[in-house]
Amino acid sequence: MNMRYVFILIMLVSGWELHAQIMNIDHAAQDTAAPKVFNTAISVTIDMDEQKANIFDEDGSLESSWQKQKNTLVFQAISEIVTGGPSNNVLNSRSLQLRDRIFPKHRLHPELFTQYQYDEVKGLQNRMIGGANLRYIIKDKGTFRTFAASGFMYEYEDWNYHGVLYIRDIPANPHDTIRRVIKSTSYIRFSKYLGNKVDFSTVLFYQAQPQFFFKYPRIAGFTQLNFNITEHFSLALEYDGWYDTKPVVPIKKYYFSFNEGLVFKI
């Protein structure tokens, strides 16, 4: 692999919820929790987002998982509202995701996923993906869990130029850009309890069209540190980073955000 990508991988996972604005995300907040039939987590965070010129915005997310002997269903919804710019424009982003892990207690098991999202901040008008992974349990013992997955997905994206920072990068007569591609998708994640009150998780994603696997990947990293205040409330410190070697429209290639907020677990 090209050494610059190795450096980017290290950089992306060196910080502190990846909000799925570009990647399909395995949020697995439940991965560090004791197995239950039903889990729900609600979080509210405040961001400092580099792509949005260091302005603050508010995020809300809901994640639920339903575990049975043969299936684990994971549903995630994310909403973000940003107010900024000279006119204090209100911009929104939304994301919905559903995952189905079949025979999740088997060491190697299939995982089906689908997602819809849009992001007015970056100019992503619509994004729809659907695909399947083979998910492998590397280690699941005590307070430490490690998973890896790899598969393929179909990706549809519709972009405009609202998220482009510099006027010189916008064509004289801009039109929406639509892309439909098949991509390989892989991720690896770690989660660990650092004590009775602290848990840590990190995940790294790598996605690319097979013919450009090393040349034009999208790489993303997410790290989350939870401080459990009570049985149901925790303080979350989060970092996510994303690097797209060839964006569909000329937005910045590197994007990151820092988040801190409260999480309520049912």
CATH number at residue 147: 2.40.160.40
Mean pLDDT of the chain: 78
Residue 24 has pLDDT above 60, yes or no: no
Domain count, the chain: 1
Domain containing 14 equals 3-265
Instruction: Kindly state the average pLDDT of the residues 70-87.
Output: 71
C-alpha 107/C-alpha 100 separation (Å) is 16
* Of 29, 64, 42, the residue nearest 200 (C-alpha): 29
Residue 34 has pLDDT above 80, yes or no: no
- The tokens for 34 are 């004791």
Least confident of 39-43, 77-81, 198-202: 39-43
Looking at residue 31, what DSSP letter applies?
G
Instruction: Kindly state the average pLDDT of the residues 107-121.
Output: 91
* Residue pLDDT, tens place only, 173-221: 889 999 999 999 999 999 988 888 898 999 999 999 999 999 999 999 9
In the chain, the largest separation of any two C-alpha atoms, in whole Å, equals 59
Q: Which residues contact 184 (CB under 8 A, 6 or more apart)?
A: 150, 151, 152, 207, 208, 209, 210, 213
60 burial type by CB count under 10 A (0-12 exposed, 13-18 middle, 19+ buried): middle
Question: Whole-model pTM?
Answer: 0.78
Instruction: Kindly state the average pLDDT of the residues 136-140.
Output: 92
Residue 7 has pLDDT above 90, yes or no: no
